[in-house]
Amino acid sequence: MESISRLRAKLPDPMRRLADFAYNYWWSWTPDRVALFSAIDPGLWQCCRHNPVALLESVSHERLWQLAEDPHYLKRLYRLSHQLDCYLNEDNTWASRVAPMIPPEHPVAYFCIEFGIHESIPIYCGGLGVLAGGHLKSASDLGLPMVGIGLLYKQGYFRQWLNRSGWQEADYVDLDFSQLPMEKVCNEYGQPITVKVNIRQRLVKVQVWQIQVGRSVLYLLDTDLPENDAAARALTGRLYGGDLDTQMAQEVLLGIGGVRVLQALGIEPSIYHLNEVHAVFALLEIALQTREETGQSFEQIQALVRDLTVFTTHTPVPVGNVFSAELMTDFFAHYWPQLGLTREEFLALGARQPDQPWEPFSLVILALRLTRAANGVSRQHGHVSRQMWQALYPNRPVEAVPIGHITNGIHVRTWVAPLMADLYEDYLGRGWSTQLTNTELWNRVEEIPNEALWHRHSILKARLVAYTRDRVRQAREARGEADDDINAVGRLLDPQVLTIGFARRFSAYKRSDLIFRDLQRMSRILAHSKRPIQIILAGKAHPDDHQGKRIIQRLMEWSRHPDLRDRVAFIEDYDLYTTKLMVQGVDLWLNTCRRTFEASGTSGQKAALNGVLNLSVQSGWWCEGYQAGINGWEIGEALPDDRERQDAVDAESLYTLLERDIARLYYSRDRAGLSRGWLRMMKASIRTITPRFNTDRMVAEYVTQMYLPQPTEPPEPVLASVIA
């Protein structure tokens, strides 16, 4: 705990508990999260990208001593300190009662290639990482012992900026680990704990860092060590960066290295949870360690490996996640003899037909063969996955294929706007955030006065507009645009106008430009004299996805059109903070992905929590969440395989809904200036979506359906340990 001790020693004595908060991300989902660090120095807090360690290391001693003499700040700090202590020390938790067979000394080990905990630790790309972060947070809140295993990327994911032609450029900036809320893991003698992993016939040394996420601990593997050569040091350089060889090396590091790290830490998990296939080689290392302990053959220990492991797939397409037999040989020629396998036997583990080991090696097939349970991440995705992999189970009908589903959710306490949380406390009760799955509790949303809900939403919307203008102005200044274009930002967006939000990774299947398919018609819709609409967009394309980057470029071109320039805004360098402001501040959340291509999606769930309505195709979670005429709208209808016709039908449906239904409802106001119909749907959105689509429910289902040896029904309501 060297880093936290050093920071604690720097702080004035009355302020030293701030170090505990800085090194535990629990602060980021407490009701006081806005004020705890931002009150120290709001400007510096923004410059530090909301990094509490960097803030406390940078702020002046004079300012710290001012706060040390401020009784109001100290009372808040002491109250939060008491809450944190109670939270960390509580032992009568939901998980301790429901799953006592998963004790702290044998936690769940949760593997994922990315983790979206907070914007200050940018080792995430998008939905997969945010889901993983929410999983750790709800595990902590429910009292489920869990450790996360991931990689620590020196440059994280790239920083996005758009040049004057609107083309996405990528900047990679080294993270200063000493300024991040994490600590190097050391042994009792203060020496860093390390393991070694053979990657393509060379030994790579790996050190370990830890991040505290409430009661959960996230361990991150790092190869940037002087003892390693340049290629090995670069393995943990970038998230989703590099070629196929780099991808394979990172996955070997995560899977095999992750299991070895747990062994070095003396952690013997009750269950290993592989969140997506990137960590699938953990199964091989578990098998190897079991074989070394028991002396049994690989065939004999497969059942033991299955008993210890579960697998979640997020991939709704059968292609990808495959490697050639040649590449597998390059990486694992030293490994399969240790498992007691021949080359053919080893390659057969990932082949659709085990008697044809020359087929491409599928990571999903390996995961399905060597885990006891597998699941998709929505009801629709579970069905799609069973269809995709039925060939592995030739004697079973599709619905009997052993792949279930647990629908993704969001960590509500992270994503709810403080203004909305305060409103829920007033009308749902102080303990509302501890019983998120209680549908009767959420029915009380109907008791919230329309004026109060509209007023708070309007504040959040005005905040988003101000933030968007500021970010667009900064981007235009950085590009050296003309003064007239920079000054025009003052006219960009209007807090009184119906506002659509669209933010996600820019990829062809997400159809981010569908709304501008008919530019003339969309221009008329946006510029309607009585019922105008505006759009805020954000998101990144993968650096190698030129089609995705071209979509962004077209959106930027359209945003400069004279009829659109004040109605369309693009926020560069999308991150979790921008996400929060968007899902809390827009009126309508748009999703236009191709049907079945998105396994679940969760951004619309975050929006609904804050009273935002969804406008989406029937895909992923929306197939379960949508209630016609109640909580949002459905775009188009599914057609046989004809993408051009499908796009035309969906675009027509989108335009018609905006013109005929959505805009008319939004602008239908009473004498008080309120849209009663819109507010009715806002309340329905909150009431029908939040109690189902949250990570408390999700983690509870993983416990009862996947983690326990025998699936069970929850014997009691799902209750989180949120100390008031």
Tell whether 129 and 218 lie within a shared domain.
Answer: yes
pLDDT digit string, tens, across residues 645-684: 999 999 999 999 999 999 999 999 999 999 999 999 999 9
126 and 77 share one domain: no
Question: Does residue 313 sit in the same domain as residue 180?
Answer: yes
Q: Is residue 126 part of a domain?
A: yes
Domain-located, residue 309: yes
Q: Is the pLDDT confidence value at 17 over 80?
A: yes
Torsion of CA 367, 371, 372, 378, to 10 degrees: -40
From CA 473, how far away is CA 570, in angstroms rounded?
11
**Same domain, residue pair 272 and 252:** yes
Tens digits of residue pLDDT in 266-286: 999 999 999 999 999 999 999
Digit-coded pLDDT (tens) for 60-85: 999 999 999 999 999 999 999 999 99
3-state class (DSSP) for residue 184 = strand
pLDDT at residue 318 greater than cutoff 80 = no
Distance CA 598, CA 621 (A): 9
Rounded Cα distance between 576 and 49, Å, is: 11
Look at residue 289 and tell me whether its pLDDT is greater than 90.
yes
pLDDT of residue 353: 83
In a domain, 684, yes or no: yes
Which backbone phi and psi does 506 adopt, to 5 degrees? -85, 110
- The answer to whether 601 and 621 are in contact (CB under 8 A) is yes
pLDDT for the residue 319: 59
- Same domain, yes or no, for 297 and 191? yes
Q: What is the CATH number of the domain that holds 349?
A: 3.40.50.2000
Report, as an integer, the average pLDDT of 451-457: 98
Residue 504 corresponds to which amino acid? Answer: R
Report the C-alpha gap between 666 and 498 in whole angstroms.
7
C-alpha 344/C-alpha 338 separation (Å) is 14
pLDDT of residue 715 exceeding 80: no
Mean pLDDT of the residues in the chain: 95
Whether 218 is covered by a domain: the verdict is yes
Claim to verify: residue 64 and residue 102 sit in the same structural domain: no
Q: What percent of the chain has pLDDT over 70?
A: 99
Q: How far apart are CA 723 and CA 308, in angstroms?
A: 33
Q: What is the largest CA-CA distance in the chain?
A: 80
Which of 65, 89, 113 terminates a domain? The answer is 89
- Whether the CB-CB separation of 120 and 180 falls below 8 Å is answered with yes
pLDDT at 152 over 60: yes
Out of 405, 421, 454, pick the residue that ends a domain. Answer: 405
- Give the span between the Cα atoms of 719 and 436, in whole angstroms: 8
In this prediction, residue 723 carries a pLDDT of 55
Amino acid 385: pLDDT: 96
Does 260 score more than 90 pLDDT? yes
- What mean pLDDT do residues 471-483 have? 96
- Residue 425 belongs to some domain of the structure: yes
Give the pLDDT of residue 32: 80
User: In the chain, what percentage of residues exceed pLDDT 90?
Assistant: 92
Q: Which amino acid is at 413?
A: R
| Mean pLDDT computed over 49-62 | 96
Asked if residue 487 and residue 386 are part of one domain, the reply reads: no
Task: Based on the fold, state whether residues 84 and 120 are members of the same structural domain.
Answer: no
Tell me which of 241 and 332 has the higher pLDDT: 332
pLDDT, position 303: 95
Q: Which residue has better confidence, 563 or 61?
A: 61
Q: Is the pLDDT of residue 210 over 90?
A: yes
Whole-model pTM: value is 0.97
Residues 219 and 266 sit within 8 Å (Cβ to Cβ): no
Predicted local distance difference test score (pLDDT) of residue 709: 87
Query: Stretch 581-605: mean pLDDT, rounded?
Result: 96
Tell how far CA 580 is from the center of its chain. 12
Residues 426 and 317 in one domain: no
Q: Does a structural domain hold residue 31?
A: yes
Calculate helix-pair angle for 363-370, 298-308, nearest 10 degrees. 90
Same domain for 83 and 106, yes or no, is no
Q: Flag whether 707 is in a domain.
A: no
Residue 374 CA to residue 654 CA, distance in Å, equals 36
Domain that holds residue 142: 98-405
Per-residue pLDDT averaged across 419-440, rounded? 96
Q: Which range (251-255, 562-566, 632-636) has the least confidence?
A: 562-566
Residue with tokens 């920083």: 159
- Nearest CA-CA partner of 368 in 385, 381, 345: 385
| The predicted structure's pLDDT at residue 359 | 81
In the chain, the number of structural domains is: 3
Let me know how long the chain is. Answer: 724
349-373 pLDDT tens trace: 999 887 776 789 999 999 999 999 9
pLDDT at 427 over 60: yes
Q: Do 259 and 144 share a structural domain?
A: yes
Report the pLDDT value the prediction gives residue 242, as an integer from 0 to 100: 85
Q: Are residues 432 and 564 in the same domain?
A: yes
Do 126 and 601 meet the contact criterion of CB atoms below 8 Å apart?
no
Answer for the pair 343, 328: CB distance below 8 angstroms, yes or no.
no
Q: Is the pLDDT of residue 551 over 70?
A: yes
Q: Is 181 a domain residue?
A: yes
Mark which of 385, 405, 425 sits at the end of a domain.
Answer: 405
For residues 99-106, average pLDDT: 96
Which pLDDT score is estimated for 563? 85
